[in-house]
């Protein structure tokens, strides 16, 4: 079957077409036939379209703000010209969407209906930066592929079974009843990495205690036991937990009260400060990008402070996940920083020596991908996994189709 996956953000849309043989649905075998990204951030009123297929990379620019028109052009490249891999769009069997917030309602991938769309809309206050774009993506696909069944795969779903003691905040109980609790995010990636780790270690996921570290611009950890997320660092929103590129992660909520009460800041200003002006960017004053931080930290004290604080928070929270797991078999690094920054992995693992973590320094340096980089003596395995949320969504869709 052919499955088109759409990952729709507010300023970019990524789509991939996968082929999954009918007899390989449960085996995680998929072939990426075509991928495209639309980026609206490069120039006001301009969409940059980049298509990769048949070994080619084709780029073009569309001077319009009309999302439907650009998506239509994007999908024309599926069936026309050198990038074509289909005769007609009708060959797409299913569309899978990454939906960031499924609240308490959606703990499984779900066929999209009017009801499902309404619920995703109702959840917008919980994910104001993501759910509106996700919903818009669904509506665009309904216009472009009206006959094709669509499935929503939720980033919160993998965490939906974390124990109440981890999900609940110690606030007045009625807030919990009103849905103010830990949801957790990056679930598609955490689950994908956990399954891939079990395969690479040739072990049953049900017997493993894992801490998966999804370290991208946004970053979160998951404590995974018996194949389930039992704890995670992100919470009610993606702001909690680790220090990130521009987000502060966990801070004393009293700081927010202080800023609002004493510093005469508006709510929106505090929101921007915590989400966009903090983290690596806020501490270094240089960049939210770990590449710039590690390059600059030789000569710049603030960059060094930002790096060391990032590692401190990461190790502290890994410790918290290990406490929830009551043990540890493997640590998994993934996403932009986790997959590419040897120094982040080295500094982190060095500080986790007390847990029996021992890195093979050479393996760590040699751009590992889907590899165990712990030394032979290490009591805890250390893996670098290339996360592939889109193929995970395609696989999930194929399993319910």
Q: What angle do CA 103, 156, 34 make, to 5 degrees?
A: 125
Active site residue 268: no
Tokens 């801070």 sit on residue: 251
* Candidates 14-22, 91-99, 195-203, 334-342; binding stretch for ligand ADP (CB under 6 A): 334-342
* Interface with ligand ADP (CB under 6 A), residue from 93, 277, 289, 372: 289
Task: Identify which of 246, 207, 148, 238 has the alpha carbon closest to the alpha carbon of residue 327.
Answer: 207
Q: Give the Cβ contact number of residue 121 at 10 Å.
A: 11
Instruction: Specify the residue, 11 or 379, whose C-beta has the smaller distance to ligand ADP.
Output: 11
Helices and strands (H, E) in the chain, number of each type:
15, 14
Residue with smaller CB distance to ligand ADP, 27 or 367 = 367
Indicate the SS3 state at residue 83. coil
* Cα–Cα distance for residue pair 362/204, rounded to 1 Å: 28
Please tell me whether residue 312 binds ligand ADP under the rule CB under 6 A.
no
User: Interface with ligand ADP includes 306 (CB under 6 A)?
Assistant: no
* 209 is an annotated ligand-binding site residue: no
Integer CA distances (angstroms), 322 to 224, 238, 330, in order: 10, 21, 10
Binder to ligand ADP among 291, 312, 316, 369 (CB under 6 A)? 291
SS3 35: strand
Residue from the set 340, 346, 350, 375 that interacts with ligand ADP by CB under 6 A: 340
Q: Please tell me the distance from the alpha carbon of residue 360 to that of residue 178, in angstroms, as a whole number.
A: 48
Compare residues 180 and 286 and give the one whose CB is closer to ligand ADP.
Answer: 286
Residue selected from 205, 224, 290, 311 as contacting ligand ADP according to rule CB under 6 A: 290
Of 234, 331, 335, 382, the one binding ligand ADP (CB under 6 A) is: 335
Residue whose structure tokens are 């995670």? 232
118 part of the interface to ligand ADP, by CB under 6 A:
no
Decide if residue 184 touches ligand ADP (CB under 6 A). Answer: no
Separation CA 278–CA 272 (nearest Å): 9
Which of 114, 203, 107, 198 is CA-nearest to residue 154?
107
Query: Which member of 93, 115, 155, 301 is catalytic?
Result: 155
- Whether 337 has a binding-site annotation, put simply, is yes
Among 12, 48, 166, 217, interactor with ligand ADP by CB under 6 A: 217
**Can residue 369 be called a binding residue for ligand ADP (CB under 6 A)?**
no
Nearer to ligand ADP, 290 or 328 (CB): 290
Stretch in the footprint of ligand ADP (CB under 6 A) among 33-41, 63-71, 172-180, 332-340: 332-340
Q: How far is the CB of 288 from ligand ADP (least distance, A)?
A: 6
Tokens at 176, concatenated:
């919990």
CB of 210 to ligand ADP, least distance (A): 19
Nearest Cα to 359, choosing from 348, 375, 345? 375
CA–chain centroid gap for 112, Å, is: 21
Exposed (0-12), middle (13-18) or buried (19+): which is 371, by Cβ within 10 Å? middle
Known binding residues for substrate: 98
In the complex, the residues that contact ligand ADP under the rule CB under 6 A are 216-218, 245, 289-291, 335-337, 340-341
Positions marked active-site: 155
Binding-site members are 7, 14, 98, 214-218, 289-291, 336-340, 389
């Amino acid at each position: 079957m052919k499955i088109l996956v759409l990952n729709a953000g507010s300023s970019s849309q990524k789509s991939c077409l996968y082929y999954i043989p009918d007899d390989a649905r449960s085996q995680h075998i998929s072939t990426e036939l075509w991928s495209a990204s639309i980026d609206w951030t490069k120039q006001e009123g301009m969409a940059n379209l980049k298509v990769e297929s048949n070994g080619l990379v084709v780029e073009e620019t569309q001077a319009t703000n009309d999302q439907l028109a650009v998506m239509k052009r994007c999908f024309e490249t599926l069936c026309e010209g050198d990038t074509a891999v289909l005769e007609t769009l009708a060959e797409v069997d299913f569309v899978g969407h990454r939906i960031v917030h499924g609240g308490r309602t959606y703990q499984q991938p779900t066929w999209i209906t009017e009801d499902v769309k309404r619920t995703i809309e109702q959840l917008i206050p919980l994910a104001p930066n993501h759910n509106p774009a996700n919903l818009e993506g669904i509506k665009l696909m309904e216009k472009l592929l009206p006959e094709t069944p669509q499935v929503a795969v939720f980033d919160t779903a993998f965490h939906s079974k974390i124990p109440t003691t981890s999900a609940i905040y110690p606030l007045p109980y009625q807030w919990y009843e009103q849905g103010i609790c830990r949801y957790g995010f990056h679930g598609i990636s955490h689950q994908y990495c956990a399954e891939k780790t079990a395969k690479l270690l040739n072990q049953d996921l049900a017997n493993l205690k894992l801490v998966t570290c999804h370290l991208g611009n946004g970053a979160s950890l998951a404590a995974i036991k018996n194949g389930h997320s039992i704890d995670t660092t992100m919470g009610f929103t993606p702001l909690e937990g680790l220090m990130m590129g521009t987000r502060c992660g966990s801070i004393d909520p009293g700081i927010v009260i202080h800023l609002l009460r004493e510093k005469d800041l508006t709510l929106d200003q505090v929101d921007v400060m915590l989400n966009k002006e903090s983290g690596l960017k806020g501490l270094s004053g240089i960049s939210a990008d770990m590449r710039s931080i590690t390059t600059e930290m030789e000569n710049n004290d603030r960059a060094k402070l930002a790096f060391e604080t990032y590692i401190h928070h990461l190790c502290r929270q890994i410790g918290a996940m290990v406490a929830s797991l009551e043990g540890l078999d493997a640590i998994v690094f993934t996403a932009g920083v986790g997959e590419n920054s040897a120094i982040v992995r080295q500094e982190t693992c060095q500080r986790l020596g007390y847990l029996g973590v021992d890195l093979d320094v050479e393996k760590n340096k040699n751009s590992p991908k889907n590899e165990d980089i712990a030394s032979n003596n290490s009591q805890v395995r250390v893996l670098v996994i290339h996360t592939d949320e889109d193929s995970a969504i395609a696989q999930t869709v194929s399993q319910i189709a």
